[in-house]
Amino acid sequence: MREKQGDLPVVIVGAGFSGTLLAVNLLRLGARVVLVERNRDSLARGLAYTTRQPEHLLNVRASNMSAYPDDLGHFQRWMGFSSAEQANRFVPRLTYGQYLREQLMAALASAPDRVVIKEQEALRIETLPDRQVLHLASGERIEARAVVLALGHFVSAGLPVLAGLAPPVLVDNPWSAQAVEGLEGVEEVLLIGTGLTAVDVALSLDKAGYRGRITALSRRGLRPRAHALVGPVAGQVARPEARGSRLLRAVRQRAEQVGWRHAIDELRPHTQSLWRLHDTAAQARFLRHLRPWWDVHRHRLAPPVAERIAALEAEGRLRFVGGKVLSAQMQGGKARIGWRPRGQDGVREMEAGRVIPCIGPEGDLARCDHPLLRGLLESGLVRADAHRLGLDVDHVGRLVDAAGRRQDRLLAVGPITKGEAWEIIAVPDIRRQVWDLARYLTHSHWVGGEGL
């Protein structure tokens, strides 16, 4: 006998931060949940928190890392933090992974009859008039009243210019152990990218005992700025009325008055609404011209990390440069790199014994090797957003199909919704998104306030 639509579970595909937290909130609200995750190591951790390196710190203070918007002190209590000094600590990401896993285990223990975890690959979604059916690689079919894609970050598909390089000189995955192994006799390591991923790899190389030179190269050579030792202290301000270049001027003027960190932090509550108020053309101009500067000021380094990076630079072991890689070939067991420095016409060459792309996650769905997404795209059930940052969704998270129709029973959360929300990769943003979606899926969104 088929279950009634209202009795069916919500199926979540992906059990990283977004999927785990959505499951926890749905269970808190009385729903049935099936959590599908193909990679056991990613369960309740995802890409960001699977690291085993203690030098990889969170980029957000402990005081703002609670998993719950209705209990902002939860993570501090879990860590045993109480004083203002400890609230400003930046803890290892592996510790936060343990915190997330414990939240999931506690939710499972509280509602064992309402949750199932499937460690399998999701292959296909079948849309029926009153339900969705998820097909797994094992042949199993799961009927659902809604399916939510919580696929997290996608590993970059790689850079075509590096196609002529081979392992172990080229290590495509910056998070793999191979990135920091087998470096005896290697005089230079080239990191393609100068953002947070490159910083993590530089720290890991240093921790592993590498004493050669590290070059981090990106188009502009920008590196992430550092958090202040104490903060944030930004108070509530009204959403700016300016748009486009006028908004940029207003933020610059505000930064001259209160400092750039304070000016950026004041925007945090309004970033998503400001993004939505700009049309597609204005958003594209931002991405083309201003995104690199926004990223390095908004997504900052923990002070201890910034200090260590500065020390590596002062020792001459790390340099950040702006430029473009033009060619890469194997020669004598090394990579011969041809590159053009930013603002110059001439081409330079360097030799590197190890090349590691650190260009961040992939957003263009056409470059993602994910069987479920491929099938959804081919069937027209989903489409890319206008900027190819991820999936096209509305403000609720409902996926938009190829014909522009919103789908009430096929949704998405987390970084793959970046095109709609822009700022949706940090814990404070995602925890609010999944909290709102859990209430929507359980018809609890009419409840006022943060709590129930």
Residues 6+ apart with CB under 8 A from 5: 130, 131, 145
> What is the rounded CA–CA span in Å between residue 240 and residue 217?
35
Phi, psi dihedral angles at 338 (to 5 degrees): -100, 125
> What is the rounded CA–CA span in Å between residue 343 and residue 49?
37
Cα dihedral 10, 15, 18, 23, rounded to 10, equals 40
CB-based contact 18:413 (threshold 8 Å): yes
Tell which residue, 355, 354, 291, has the closest CA to residue 158.
355
Helix or strand holding residue 204 (H, E): helix 196-207
CATH classification number, 160-225+310-357, choose in 3.40.50.1820, 3.40.630.30, 3.40.1190.20, 3.50.50.60: 3.50.50.60
Residues 6+ apart with CB under 8 A from 197: 174, 358, 359, 360
> What is the rounded CA–CA span in Å between residue 117 and residue 108?
10
Q: Which CATH superfamily is domain 5-155+363-441 in?
A: FAD/NAD(P)-binding domain (3.50.50.60)
- Tokens 């009430």 belong to 408
State whether residue 363 is helix, strand or coil.
Answer: coil
Q: Which two tokens stand for residue 133?
A: 């059916």
Q: What is the pLDDT along the chain (452 residues), one digit of tens a residue?
A: 456 666 899 999 999 999 999 999 999 999 999 999 988 877 877 767 777 788 888 888 888 899 999 899 999 999 887 766 677 788 888 899 899 999 999 999 999 999 999 999 999 999 999 999 999 999 999 999 999 999 988 777 678 999 999 999 999 989 888 999 999 999 999 999 999 999 999 999 999 999 999 999 999 999 999 988 776 665 678 888 888 888 888 888 888 888 888 888 888 888 899 999 999 999 999 999 888 888 888 889 999 999 999 999 999 999 999 999 999 999 999 999 999 999 999 999 999 999 999 987 776 777 777 889 999 999 999 999 999 999 999 999 999 999 999 999 999 999 999 999 988 888 889 999 999 999 999 998 655 444 33
Residue 181's CB is within 10 A of a number of other CB atoms, namely 13
Residue span(s) of the chain under CATH 3.50.50.60 come to: 5-155+363-441, 160-225+310-357
Q: Which two tokens stand for residue 109?
A: 């223990």
Tell which residue, 85, 99, 122, has the closest CA to residue 48.
99
